[in-house]
Amino acid sequence: MQVVNRAAAEGRLLITFDKDFGELAFHSGLFSPAGIVLFRIASPSPERVAQVAVAVLEARSDWAGHFSVIEEGRVRMTPLPTKA
């Protein structure tokens, strides 16, 4: 997973809207120290999705080490496995 490896190497939070990628990342035990955020929000426009994404990301600072799922009105966070 080049994307996860690059995000980890650069200390970046990985953001995705792809449910398949989120499942693969979490269930494969991928290590991402800065965290992975999966957005599962429906919105009438890309502009609204961007507004919601920015607001949610700015509202917290504890993404590191977690696989997070953002849904309408809630955030679920699960610790990611640590690198072996």
Contact 68, 47 (CB under 8 A): no
Strand partners, 36: 14, 67
Global model pTM greater than 0.75:
yes
In a domain, 47, yes or no: yes
Question: Rounded mean pLDDT of the chain?
Answer: 86
Is residue 84, in this structure, part of any structural domain at all? no
Q: What is the mean pLDDT of residues 29-36?
A: 81
- Cα(58)–Cα(53) distance, rounded to whole angstroms? 9
| pLDDT the model gives residue 82 | 73
| Number of domains the chain is built from | 1
Residue 77 pLDDT: 94
Instruction: Tell me the C-alpha distance between 13 and 44, whole Å.
Output: 26
Report the relative pairing of strands 36-40 and 66-71 from DSSP bridges.
parallel
Alpha carbon 7 to chain centroid distance? 11
* pLDDT > 90: percent of the chain: 33
Mean pLDDT of all residues in 8-16: 90
Q: Evaluate whether residue 66 is within a structural domain.
A: yes
Range of the domain at 12: 2-79
* Residue 79: strand, helix, or coil: strand
